[in-house]
Structure 1
Amino acid sequence: MRGHELTTARIQAVEGLPVSTPAAAWCQAASLLSDRELIVAADALMRRHNPVLGLDDLLDEVAARPGTREVRRLRRALQSAAPRTDSVAETLLRLDARDAGLPPFEVNAEIRDAYGRFLAYGDLVHAPTKVLLEYDGQQHRLDDRQYSRDVERLDDLAAAGWRVIRVNRSHRGTARRWILERVRTTLLERGWHPEPSQMVAERGRK
């Protein structure tokens, strides 16, 4: 069992019991979590549906503890965290894309056609090239109503010029690298030009 050092604490009452606030608990967990786990936890707190808190809450909490041992890691995690995520799998896909040297993707962005008609919320959106990464969880396969909506939505997106690349839990290890390379090729074909820092990341990955 691993413990962590508690230097500051913000407390709130839950059913009469004193507990740390969610933002404080996230900061305290830094001694127990990896950098990637910290980002995943931050994303989960700021999730799209029923968020626990917002980015400003986490930023304020980190700013309130400048002398703590983990403050640099906390600040770094918040630079990579994103509000409005829907799942851990979605966060991990975004981080894998970043680590592969791909451009930033907007999380759960609203997509409209040329006439302003709403088409979809995209999981990971690169608007300049109209490339969309979609993580398909189990509900996409098992729910008939969800599957029908997905088919209609994909048709609408294709008609509006979007290229949708679907990722699921089978894309692990070599398959994960393959799908990200496919994303890279698609982005390049659609006019994306990597920044020097992204080219360095790509060379490091190889």
Structure 2
Amino acid sequence: MNWNTDPRRVGALYTVELLLEAISTGNRWSIARRATGPLLGQLLAADGSGGSHPHVLGTPRLSLTAHPLAVVDDDVAVVLGAVTERTRPDPTPLVAVLIRSTVDPRHWLVAALETTAEIAEDTRRAAVLGEYTESADAATIAAHSPLDPEAAAIDWDDPTVVLRAHANGTVTVADALAHLAEFDRSAWPWLADEGVTFGGLYLRARHPELVRER
């Protein structure tokens, strides 16, 4: 029986699902929010260069199915499940190792993601010993910035820049920032992560500290 009522288990499963989605869509911001250690650098490098993703299947639109199981200790979690792809009839086994962030509210970060049942010994040891650090991740993220080229390409200092033109008028940088001002600061990480509004794109371009905020 798979009991995933513990919020920690639900959080670990959801983090893996969101990371798979980010990989499938090439969303480097979302990848940076949810991966750690060597996996973080590998995924950001793959998405930045257009290369294949290490350790995971490369076909877009991946999803975690087949009744995934999360086994959670205080600071380490293991997620077992299967990855399905639209172009393949059979699911592929998946195992993920996660660690808890050292920063409140201590969300989960994926340290390893494999489509085989084997996780490298050094990865397991590092996860157990707590050798993945937020400062090292921050350096990796900075080395691969900007995380969102579309957002970085916009001149946010010019309020007259047209972001979108349609039959009813135009949306400018000034409009986007005015709309963003309607949200409380606590909503910024969510807006940046979703990246579906121009305000969210502004946050991706100008507030990299939001990557690890919840």
TM-score (norm 2): 0.22
Whichever structure has more strand as a proportion of its residues is 2
Whichever structure has more helix as a proportion of its residues is 1
